[in-house]
Amino acid sequence: MLVLDRVGKTYLNGVNALERFSVEIGLGQIVAVIGGSGCGKSTLLRAIAGLDRASHGAITLDGETIAAPHPKVGIIFQEPRLLPWLSVADNIGFGLSDVPSAERRARIAAALAKVGLADKAKAWPRELSGGQAQRVSIARALVMRPEVLLLDEPFSALDAFTRRDLQDHLLDLWSETRPTLVLVTHDVDEAVVLADRVLVMRPRPGRLFERIDVNLARPRDRNSPLFETTKRRVLTALDRSLDRDAPDPAAGVETGDALWW
């Protein structure tokens, strides 16, 4: 279980990027984080990944506090961030240097096959298309068998077809080992297709605005009326989150506290 307890982050320049963010995410859950630009979504993810320290509150995974990158937590960035001097296979095996070489090779081959790039093992990253490169970065994270996988707008740079393809792909991969997924996105469609729960954030300071549970059976039909309804609910919440005068429903009793601060 991933627990965030009143996590806050104030950058050195005084920007209050995240404030009192609390959520509990059970193992195997898929959570989508959605919100306007600059409302602290990346800040949140980087704190969970241990790349940045939260200035307030605590992040724990199965009771263990996360203050630095954790072996059970993987992250996929918006850009593939492949190492250009390593072949595709070596990029995927980057985190496996402690694994015996026979096993490493087997795991790399399996991961390559899973993302459908078995024929690209020896290619250089520069020879890949954007979608292929992002698939390699997904494989690089999954080959570590993380318990929690964080994704920061992983498909936002891709065209609509490729994005849809990779969303389905991600779900396939998820269903094999069922890690916890925390996915930041700008795309309401993507959030509703993938997530069990959608967290809507609001900016200045970045905080949780609303949680919306998505009770749709998988695989989800993007054209079903229920899907549409859920999408509309997320959209409405998103609209209200950007409206400065709307009250904070998720903050509840804490609103009084927040004013006091």
Ligand X SMILES: Nc1ncnc2c1ncn2[C@@H]1O[C@H](COP(=O)(O)OP(=O)(O)OP(=O)(O)O)[C@@H](O)[C@H]1O
Stretch that binds another protein, among 71-79, 187-195, 196-204, 238-246 (CB under 8 A): 71-79
Which one, 184 or 194, has the nearer CB to Mg ion? Answer: 184
Burial 13-51 (b: 16+ CB within 10 A, else e): eeebbbbbbebebeeebbbbbbbbeebbbbbbbbbbbbe
Q: Which does 161 bind (CB under 5 to 8 A by kind): ligand X, Mg ion, another protein, none?
A: another protein
Q: Which residue has the tokens 């979608």?
A: 131
Residue 79 carries which DSSP code? S
The verdict on 157 binding another protein (CB under 8 A) reads no
Which residue number, 43 or 137, has a Cβ lying nearer to ligand X?
Answer: 43
Residue 248, beta-bridge partner list: none
What is the amino acid identity at position 251?
A
Which one of 20, 41, 202, 231 is in contact with ligand X (CB under 6 A)?
41
Please state, in angstroms and rounded to a whole number, the distance separating the CA atoms of residues 68 and 225: 43
Answer yes or no whether residue 43 interacts with ligand X by CB under 6 A: yes
Neighbours of 59 (CB within 10 A): 23
Which of 222, 77, 218, 197 is closest to 140 using CA atoms?
Answer: 77
**Contact letters (x/-) for ligand X, 201-220, by CB under 6 A?**
-----x--------------
Residue 120's SS3 state is helix
CB of 241 to another protein, least distance (A): 28
Applying CB under 8 A, does 106 fall inside the site for another protein? Answer: no
If contact means CB under 5 to 8 A according to the sort of partner, which of another protein, ligand X, Mg ion, none does residue 85 touch? another protein
Nearer to ligand X, 50 or 93 (CB): 50
Strands (E) across 92-187 are located at 148-152, 180-185
Residue 51 makes contact with ligand X by CB under 6 A: no
- Order of strands, edge to edge, in the sheet holding 56-61? 16-25, 2-10, 56-61, 64-65
Neighbours of 196 (CB within 10 A): 17
Is residue 132 at the binding interface for Mg ion, with CB under 5 A as the rule?
no
Complex with another protein: residue 22 or 156, whichever CB lies closer: 156
Does 162 interact with Mg ion (rule: CB under 5 A)?
no
Give residues in contact with another protein (CB under 8 A).
49, 51, 68-69, 71, 74-75, 77, 79, 81, 83-86, 94-95, 97, 124-126, 144, 161-162, 165
Give residues in contact with Mg ion (CB under 5 A).
42
Give residues in contact with ligand X (CB under 6 A).
11, 13, 15, 17, 37-43, 206
